[in-house]
């Protein structure tokens, strides 16, 4: 990779993510869900029921936004809130059968979108791309974790 391409890496990754998101949003509208609702539904189906706080963390959005998001999803029949057995102040969000059924269709749709995105790449290139992205994610997550762990130390030093 040339230096010019490395300089554009962030833009390229962002552009690919944006274009994938657009495709998903366009196809997701067929089910009457926004992109944020799809992301929430997929997380709930794949990872199981979770608290609103955990869902907000996973989706990287504010808890109040998740509350409104779940309100709309409940009204449309995609999710249901149930009291948390361990914390009576909290609710656990569960996917409905509608969400579970749609997930299999969406998974198939996603496969088609990914195939379009990967056209022209050999199987080896595809494996290399996935491995490279996974490594980049791990590298950046390590730095983020180290920064989070160092934050209390930085605060103490600043005093």
Is the CB of residue 87 less than 8 Å from the CB of residue 128?
no
Closest by CA position to 100, among listed 52, 26, 41, 31: 41
Q: Give the architecture (CATH level 2) of 3-119.
A: Orthogonal Bundle (1.10)
Weakest mean pLDDT among 37-46, 47-56, 105-114, 117-126: 105-114
Read off the pLDDT band of 146 (50, 70, 90): low
Read off the pLDDT band of 158 (50, 70, 90): very low
Mean pLDDT for all residues in the chain: 85
Domain limits, the chain: 3-119
Alpha-carbon separation of residue 115 from 2, 18, 39, 137 (angstroms): 27, 16, 20, 22
Is the overall model pTM greater than 0.85, yes or no? no
Which residue, chain included where needed, has tokens 């609710």?
A: 91
4 or 68: which leads in pLDDT? 68
Does the pLDDT value for residue 102 go beyond 50?
yes
């Amino acid at each position: 990779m040339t230096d010019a391409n490395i300089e554009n890496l962030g833009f390229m990754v962002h552009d690919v993510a944006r274009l994938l998101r657009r495709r998903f949003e366009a196809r997701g509208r067929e089910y009457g869900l926004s992109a944020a609702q799809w992301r929430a539904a997929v997380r709930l189906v794949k990872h199981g029921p979770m608290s609103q706080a955990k869902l907000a963390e996973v989706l990287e959005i504010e808890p109040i936004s998740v509350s409104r998001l779940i309100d709309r999803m409940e009204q449309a029949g995609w999710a249901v809130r149930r009291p948390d057995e361990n914390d009576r102040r909290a609710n656990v969000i569960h996917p409905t059968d509608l969400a579970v059924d749609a997930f299999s269709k969406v998974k198939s749709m996603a496969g088609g979108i990914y195939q379009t995105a990967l056209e022209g790449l050999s199987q080896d290139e595809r494996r290399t791309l996935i491995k490279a992205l996974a490594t980049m994610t791990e590298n950046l997550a390590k730095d983020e974790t180290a920064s989070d762990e160092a934050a209390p130390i930085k605060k103490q030093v600043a005093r």
